Amino acid sequence: LAKTTQPISMDSYEGQEVNITCSHNNIATNDYITWYQQFPSQGPRFIIQGYKTKVTNEVASLFIPADRKSSTLSLPRVSLSDTAVYYCLVVKTSYDKVIFGPGTSLSVIP
């Protein structure tokens, strides 16, 4: 299973763009990159998933360089409600299980 590395914590002011980078050096050809958000005492919530280049949805963008050894989750104009833990996961299409790393605890400051 591909191991991921991301910052343990980040702080940001309200209204700023936040970029969280995740390293996954041993990502395999058939792996997807998925990001989840988790609030205290809740299950993780799917944010975005991608394979290469750039993916955008209504809440975030995901940038994946050509070598796919890293990815960056971009949250535009964060608000206090974006304070949460963000997990970067590498998901294999041929394996069943997903292993969570420690995630990045994002604190948005007024």
Q: What residues make contact with other proteins under the rule CB under 8 A? A: 32, 34, 36, 41-46, 49, 87, 91-94, 96-103
- What minimum distance in Å lies between the beta carbon of 103 and other proteins? 6
Residue 16 or 26: the one with the smaller Cβ distance to other proteins is 26
End-to-end CA distance of the chain: 38
Residue 21 or 49: the one with the smaller Cβ distance to other proteins is 49
**Helix or strand or coil: residue 42?**
coil
- What minimum distance in Å lies between the beta carbon of 75 and other proteins? 20
- What minimum distance in Å lies between the beta carbon of 78 and other proteins? 22
Residue 37 or 70: the one with the smaller Cβ distance to other proteins is 37
- What minimum distance in Å lies between the beta carbon of 82 and other proteins? 18
Residue 42 or 110: the one with the smaller Cβ distance to other proteins is 42
Q: Which of 71, 107, 66, 65 is nearest to 89 (CA)?
A: 71
Please give the order of strands across the beta sheet that includes 84-92. 9-13, 104-109, 84-92, 31-38, 45-50
DSSP structure string for 60-100: -EEEE-TT-SEEEEEESS--GGG-EEEEEEEEESS------
